[in-house]
C-alpha cells in the first residue's frame, strides 16, 4: 500500500505522463503529411505536391480552374506508394505548370469513392477541366509518360482528338 507521500507522488506524476502523451500525439498529428495540409511548395521538401487532408480539400482542388492537374491516390500502408512517391515529388518540381496533389484514400474515403479509386497507387490526370486519363501501379516510366503528355497537349489538339473519337464511335 502506498502511503500519503507515495500516493501524492503518483497522482502528481500521472498528469505529467498524460501531458507528455498528449504532446507526443499532437506532434505526430502536426507532422503527419496526410493530416496536415501544406503549401504547394515547401523549402523543406523542395517539392510542389499539395497534400490534400480532407475530401473537401480534394473537391476544392478539383474545382480550382481548368489548369493541368495530377492526382496521386495513396495509402500510408501501401508499399508501392512509398516507392513511387519520390518520383512523383521529382516530377512536381520539373513540371511547374501542372498542379500536383496527393490524397490518402483512408483519410479521404468520400473523395476516393467519388473518384472510383480501387487500387493504390492510382494516378489521375486532368486538363482543360476534363479527365485526361489514369493508371494504377508504381511505374516511374508510365508516370513520366502521362505527365509529359498532359503537359504537352494543347487545347486544340485535345478538341481534335475528342472530335476524332466521337466520329469513330459513330462509325
108 is catalytic: no
For the beta sheet containing 68-74, the strands, ordered from the edge strand earlier in sequence to the opposite edge, are 49-52, 98-104, 68-74, 122-127, 130-136
The single residue of 78, 89, 111, 143 carrying the catalytic annotation is: 78
What is the largest distance, in Å, between two alpha-carbon atoms of the chain? 92
Q: Which residues pair with 122 in a beta bridge?
A: 73, 136
- Looking at the DSSP bridge assignments, the partners of residue 50 are 101
Give the span between the Cα atoms of 133 and 49, in whole angstroms.
19
**End-to-end Cα, the chain, rounded Å:** 90
Q: Indicate if 81 belongs to the active site.
A: yes
Give the integer Cα–Cα distance in Å for 94 and 89: 9
Task: Dig out the grid coordinates for 87 from the structure.
Answer: 518520383
Instruction: Give me the half-sphere count of Cα atoms (radius 13 Å) on the Cβ side of residue 118.
Output: 2
Q: Which of 81, 115, 117, 138 is catalytic?
A: 81
Catalytic residues: 78, 81
Amino acid at each position: 500500500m502506498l502511503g500519503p507521500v507515495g500516493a501524492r507522488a503518483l497522482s502528481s506524476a500521472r498528469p505529467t505522463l498524460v501531458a507528455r502523451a498528449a504532446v507526443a500525439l499532437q506532434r505526430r498529428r502536426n507532422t503527419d503529411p496526410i493530416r496536415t495540409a501544406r503549401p504547394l511548395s515547401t523549402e523543406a521538401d523542395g517539392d510542389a505536391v499539395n497534400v490534400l487532408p480532407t475530401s473537401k480539400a480534394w473537391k476544392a482542388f478539383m474545382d480550382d480552374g481548368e489548369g493541368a492537374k495530377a492526382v496521386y491516390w495513396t495509402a500510408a500502408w501501401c508499399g508501392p506508394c512509398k516507392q513511387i512517391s519520390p518520383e512523383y515529388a521529382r516530377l512536381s518540381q520539373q513540371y511547374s505548370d501542372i498542379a500536383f496533389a496527393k490524397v490518402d484514400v483512408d483519410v479521404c474515403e468520400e473523395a476516393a469513392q467519388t473518384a472510383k479509386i480501387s487500387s493504390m497507387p492510382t494516378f489521375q490526370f486532368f486538363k482543360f477541366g476534363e479527365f485526361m486519363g489514369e493508371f494504377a501501379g508504381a511505374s516511374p516510366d508510365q508516370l513520366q509518360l502521362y505527365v509529359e503528355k498532359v503537359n504537352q497537349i494543347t487545347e486544340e489538339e485535345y478538341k481534335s482528338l475528342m472530335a476524332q473519337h466521337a466520329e469513330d464511335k459513330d462509325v
